[in-house]
Structure 1
Amino acid sequence: MQNLVNLRHLEIFGTRIKEMPKRMGKLNQLRTLDCYVVGKHTENSIKELGGLPNLHGRFYIQKLENVTKGEEALEARIMDKNHISHLFLEWSIANDNSIDFQVELDVLSKLEPHQDLEALSINGYKGTRFPEWVGNFSYLYMTSIGLSNCNNCCMLPSLGQLPSLSNLRISKMNSVKTIDAGFYKKDDCSSVTPFPSLESLHISNMPCWEVWNSLDSEAFPVLKNLYIDNCPKLKGDLPNHLPALQTLGITNCELLVSSVPGPLSLRTVEIRKCKKVAFREFPLLVESIEAEGGPMVESMMEAISNIQPTCLQTLELQNCSSDISFRGGLPASLKTLVIRGIKKLKFPLQHKHELLESLSIINSCDSLTSLPLAIFPNLTSLRITNCENMESLLVSGSEISKRLNTFAIDHCPNFVSFPREGLCMPNLTSITVCNCDKLKSLPDQMGTLVPKMEYLSISNCQQIESFPEGGMPPKLRTVFIENCVKLLSNQAWKSMDMVTSLVVRGPCDGIKSFPKERLLPPSLVCLELFRLSSLETLDCKGLLHLTSLQQLNIVNCQMLENFAGEKLPLSLIKLIIEGCPLLQKRCNRKDRQIWPKICHVRGINIEGRWI
């Protein structure tokens, strides 16, 4: 490598290289070197960087733990590399009880970059404090800083005086307990507004952080996005004046009890698993709210019921055991509603919800036994999951769900039936029915009532024996069937001649031979069989009429060892067999029973190998 003296570009980031080749410093024409992995020897130490003055763009220096003296770091001449725009300094994450904190500080001090740098990231630094250059106001063009895994630092560097800093990420600073005045500005910058350009602040995974002292009310004048995640000991108040805030996300801060500003600019709120976070004034123009945990859900429900925000479009409520309801109904502006893990919630059925487009009810609303679709005239997506008492959907008279596009119902053990007159959903493209133990049939007249349906999935519905009368939708192309023994044991699937792709998944205990003759639709192009635990024989007679079949996948059918009948369809182009050990042994030219039945297939792949 050292002889390539005219080399201009070398990219190694993301490779498994453990240390650099020797004497990289001789490649003094290099303009692009995205990463330098510091070695332990003189010939590949950090000193070699001193001979590379022309590096441009993003530059990572990794394994800085191999730099044992500040003088070595100084010889890298990082300050002189004026064309580096993004600098990433990384130490390997490892427990080391023999750290010399002064050496660590000296090394980072000597890695000071030029003052036109745009972005800086420090990861794994083992010193107890940061050198003076980190955050110095002379870095006029610094827009992004990331600090992570600096576990011995108990204080954050002063960053508020950086005039152009717009994005700041702080994570895994395990010794930091307090964010105080020193974070905002240094003593010699008392007249500066702290963080004058900061738009996005992420603080995450801070296990010891307890207090955020927001001493300067003028700080963060343009902050748009604030995210705080997984700070389990954080208790105190958050900054009380954030006039430009648009997105607030606080998650997994179990001890946090705080009041936060609700500026008119706030549009998106996500607060999960916090003790109690309340708004001093509810943000009237908020468009999206996600709340998780009893206190937060109760607080949000109370505020929404009292204020009835007129701009709220998305609401997600999760995990609350209290007896709650939407007093006054849903906000009229709401378009998306997700309710998860709130069993005692009383769903508002008295009024139409004209603008609601997406509704998900998951493990909630135990009092709800039926859902009248008429109150959702503009619904496009409906999902009902784990609603133990849900029995039916209701359709009144000639009312039509004109816009519904996707419908899924799963793990509703008492769901008995669809409306007797069928589901008139002219724009429905997808239906998923899963784990509905008492359901005996799909909606009738699907061929005319849901003419645009393209996808049908039926899983673990043991009482369904056949497809409905009146034909299937003409655009139906893909069908997924999982563990429906009665349906797979039927004599024939009528009116399914439009289906081109079929997936059959087990276990389907008791089905030893599949498929029965004339069961499957002749239009099939692709057939996939997965995890059929009892399947011993694939019956070629049940496939012979599939004159359009091009691909057959057989996966994880452990007991399968035989093909019955004459041969697989002549139209078959690709046969893939995986996880079928008994069959795998027989799929070779020596087997006079199996090989003649498959040898005409152009592409045969057994356990990832083409034969």
Structure 2
Amino acid sequence: MAVVSVGEAVLSAFLRVVFNRVASSDILDYLKRRKLIDRLVQKLKIELMSADAVLIDAEEKQITNPAVKEWLDELKDAVYVADDLLDEIAYEALRCKLEAESTSKHYLAPRLTTSCPEKCGVFGRDIDKEAIFKLWQSDDASSSDGICVVPIVGMGGIGKTTLAQLLYNDTIVNESFDLKAWVKNYFKDAYKKFEIPCEAKGLRTFLGGEWWHENDNIGKMIDELLHSFKCLRVLSLSGISELPVFVGKLKHLRYLDIRYTGIKHLPNSLCSLYNLQTLILSWCITELPINMGKLVNLRHLDNTGTKLKEMPPQIGKLKNLKKLPLFFVGKHGGSSIRELVELRHLSGKLSISNLENVHCTKDATEVMLKDKRDLSELVLKWKDGHDNEDLEKSRNVLEQLCPHENLNSLTIKNYKGTSFPNWLGDSSFSNMVSIVLRNCKYCFSLPPLGQLPLLKKLKIVSFHGVFAVDHEFYGNGSSTIEPPFRSLEYLSFVDMPEWQQWVIFEGGVFSCLLELQIIDCCKLSKCLPNHLPSLTKLVIRGCKQLVASLPKAPALHELECDGKIQLASDHYYPSLESLKIEGGSDSLWSLPLEFFPKLKSIQMHKCENLESLSTSEGSHPSLTSLTYLGIWKCPNFVSFPNGGLCAPNLTEIEVSECKKLKSLPEGMHTLLPSLVTLRLELCPELESFPEGGLPSNLKTLKIEYCNKVISRRMEWGLQGLHSLKELNIWSNCKEVESFPEEALLPPTLTTFEILDFPNLKSLNGKGFQHLTSLQSLTIGICKKLQCLPVEGLSHLYF
């Protein structure tokens, strides 16, 4: 079997496409209107069919016959030219149906640059410099009425420009001429970068990459460049702030990408691109051209992240449009929501904003969102702050915007109605995966969402009128026997200031829930789900009145809670890795560490009744996963577990404002071998470091206003900590007049900070003389300090 090359197979297929285009009704009608007789058109068809037949045979012979190979190459060029010609004919045929926009041409202005020579040395040009100086100073030059021109000629790269720069900046020139100016044709130099692509008159794809930004005036050059690329199908631009008017002359263009540019407005000539199929405008423009409706072949209009306020009129004429992420309803003369009626092929995401501008419910009805079966994500937004909005009208509008049952994701923002329409939560939406309801301040109840079989994410934010989450929320009115929220994985309640009661459904509710958030629900007083077998993250924050026991959650990895949440003594959390408690219940006087064998991080904040971290009598669990321990503002905290804290991988401890704490964990030097950071702040009763001292790998030590510890500083044993790099000491000890004592600090110290010693008068030079690694010394709020020592600090730079 003969081998047929892929390139020639594609050529054969391409030739058939050209044949089909010739036979299209639009082109035939156009040729007839131009009085081109049918006989010529028929002859062209026959020629194309003959070429296709010959091509099939030639593809098999080209491997051994060079002449056939050359003929195929010429045919390939001819086919591309024919395709361009037919594309122009199709464009003109379409233009005859639509009004063409006039375009204007922009010309480039040269940019200013420097006359400074390169900083590197220049050798061997002294004779040339002297010769040019003599020409300038000659009698002929000085007596000339015109301008004396001394040309410097030669091939590129021999240093003509460098020589001119040396002359321009020479002291003789500066003394001899009152005025001078450097002139250079930079446009020519910049344009040279594009000489090769500009010669490619048939170029079909142009992608402006990172190199595009190397020239500051590329935005001005692009107009001239596009004149050479009239056959472009694909154009991607970056680093420009204005799209040239000439872009409207690119009749063949199918794809235009200007995302993330500085372009705010598009030229009206863009609306002459009748063949354009994809237009990517994300994160740049603020306004669309008024004649966008003429882009009748447009299929993808990506306006994600734009600051549009309304859509242009007649955008509904883009009947082939498949992608339109953002639609803005006009206020007065702008586009009505009815423009969406004819956009039947929309797919993916659609966000409809400014729904307060829908003045007639009938307009929303005609949109027929329920017929747009290819939409997967729908966002419905009213403008925030329109509190005088007709509440009944808002509900009627939402009622009519019922989407197709294929929808996967629904978001409703700033809705002004007091209740939701019946379609929201209907079990027929069997593909619904995500629902976000945000800032629906006037709603008195939540919609019945429990019977959506595939719902995985539910986020409810700023419902200021909801007092209770009850059985209606679970959708119990349905005849189904399936448990509610059987697929839900993420549930979040945020900013519900009037919510007081959560009625818990009895049975297997929330069996798949992975994350639960309850934030800023200040009146919620009791009841959490009892058993959440799949839960991995629980966040309860800003719920000061919530008095409840944590649910049974054996898979829990992360727990963050405040208020009066109780840790039930019969619950075990074998998978918990992160624990953050703020406030804590009255019964939380001890944190039983054996409940959390896999903890990596412990943070206890403002737990007023917390007295200790404890273990059951006789047990000494090894917290092998623990890496961080922080305890702040726990005024009654007094002790760590008896026998010490066995955490071989603990790297950081912070203890702050624990006014009754007297001692650190026992055996730190052996039980905490990985500790590298220790911060102790505002613990006035803390007396000293534990027996045996601190771990040898400690690198950072901060002691802030722990005066009893500082008074016993000679017992610290820091000189044996050969890894210690940073030491910060803040103290208002009045008895300290000289500091530091000799041999107090280790020689490895690189950073030393001393603050707020009210009676410190001098620094002990002998305490510094062995600190040969010290790089930074900070001294502050030591008002009586008079001078620095002569010895010991000579290696520091001030």
Identify whether the pair has TM-score above 0.5, normalized to the shorter chain. Answer: yes
Match status 1:382 vs 2:678 = yes
Give the secondary structure class of the aligned counterpart of 1:490. Answer: coil
Q: 1:26 to 1:60 in 2, by over 3 A?
A: same
Equivalent residues of 1:79, 1:113 under 8 A apart: yes
Secondary structure (helix, strand or coil) at the match of 1:41 reads coil
Pick the aligned partner of 1:259 from 549, 554, 559.
549
Give, in whole Å, the separation in 1 of the partners of 2:409 and 2:742.
62
Q: Which residue of 1 aligns with 2:568?
A: 279
The aligned counterpart of 1:89 is 380
How far apart are the structure 2 equivalents of 1:105 and 1:270? 37
Select between 464-473 and 123-132 the one with higher mean Cα deviation: 464-473
Which amino acid is the alignment partner of residue 3 of structure 1?
A: N
Question: Which of 174, 190, 208 is the matching residue for 2:498?
Answer: 208
Q: Which runs of no fewer than 5 residues in structure 1 stay unpaired?
A: 498-518, 522-611
Equivalent of 1:65, from 344, 348, 356?
Answer: 356
Aligned pair 1:409/2:707, yes or no?
no
Provide the rounded CA distance (Å) in 2 between the counterparts of 1:411 and 1:338: 18
How far is the alpha carbon of 1:256 from its aligned partner? 2.1
Q: 1 CA distance for matches of 2:555 and 2:679?
A: 32
Mapping 1:281-360, distance limit 5 Å: 281-287=570-576, 288-295=578-585, 298-299=587-588, 301=590, 304=592, 309-322=596-609, 324-328=611-615, 332-333=622-623, 334-348=626-640, 350-355=642-647, 356-360=650-654
Q: Tell me which residue corresponds to 2:407.
A: 117
Q: For residues 635 and 612 of structure 2, what CA distance do their matches in structure 1 show?
A: 11
Selected match of 1:50 from 313, 317, 341: 341
SS at match of 1:88: strand
Q: Cα–Cα, structure 1 residues 282 and 369, in superposed 2: closer, same or farther, change >3 Å?
A: closer
Secondary structure (helix, strand or coil) at the match of 1:120 reads strand
Which residue number in structure 2 is paired with residue 78 of structure 1? 369
Q: Is the 8 A contact 1:323 1:345 kept in 2?
A: yes
Contact 1:434-1:461 at 8 Å conserved across structures = yes
**Structure 2 counterpart of 1:598:** none
Aligned to 1:40: 331
CA distance in 2 between counterparts of 1:441 and 1:97 reads: 69
* TM-score (norm. length: structure 2): 0.55
Contact in 2 for aligned 1:172/1:204 (Cα 8 Å)? yes
Check conservation: 2:589, 2:612, Cα contact below 8 A.
no
Q: CA RMSD in A?
A: 3.6
Structure number with bigger Rg? 2
- The reply on whether 1:242 has 2:527 as its aligned counterpart is no
Task: For residue 157 of structure 1, report the CA deviation from its aligned partner.
Answer: 0.9
- In the TM superposition, residue 340 of structure 1 has moved relative to its aligned partner by 1.4
* Counterpart Cα distance in 2 of 1:85 and 1:489: 73
What one-letter code is carried by the residue in structure 2 that aligns with 1:139? F
Shift in alpha-carbon separation, 1:294–1:167, aligned structure 2, 3 A: closer
Corresponding residue number in structure 2 for 1:182? 472
The answer to whether the Cα contact below 8 Å between 2:560 and 2:580 also exists between their aligned partners in 1 is yes
CA distance in 1: counterparts of 2:689 and 2:312, whole angstroms: 69
Aligned equivalents of 1:408, 1:54: Cα separation in 2: 65
Which among 390, 407, 419 is matched to residue 99 of structure 1?
Answer: 390
1: CA distance between counterparts of 2:408 and 2:740? 60
- Structure 1 residues 168 and 323: CA distance shift in structure 2, 3 A: closer
C-alpha spacing 1:191/1:401, structure 2 compared with 1 (3 Å): same
The amino acid that maps onto 2:447 is P
* Contact 1:326-1:346 within 8 A present in 2 as well: no
CA distance in 1, matches of 2:308, 2:684: 55
Match of 1:361 in 2: 655
Residue matched to 1:3: 291
8 Å Cα contact 2:742/2:764 also seen in 1 = no
TM-score (normalizing by structure 1): 0.70
Judged with a 3 Å threshold, the aligned counterparts in structure 2 of structure 1 residues 342 and 160 are, in CA distance, closer, same or farther, namely same
Deviations along 1:396-434, whole A, 9 cap, x unmatched? 3xx662333443333545652645642544444554445
How far does residue 133 in structure 1 lie from its aligned partner after superposition? Answer: 2.0
Q: CA deviation at 1:182?
A: 1.6
- Larger % of strand: which? 1
| Residues 496, 428 of structure 1: alpha-carbon distance in 2 compared, 3 angstrom cutoff | farther
Structure of greater relative contact order (alpha carbons < 8 Å, 6+ residues apart): 1
Q: Does 1:422 align with 2:710?
A: no
| Partner deviation per Cα, 1:101-145 (whole Å, 9 max, x = no partner) | 2x2122112222222222211111111111122122222332211
CA contact (8 A) 2:547 2:563 kept: no
Tell me the distance in 1 between the aligned counterparts of 2:717 and 2:525.
57
User: Are 1:142 and 2:142 matched, yes or no?
Assistant: no
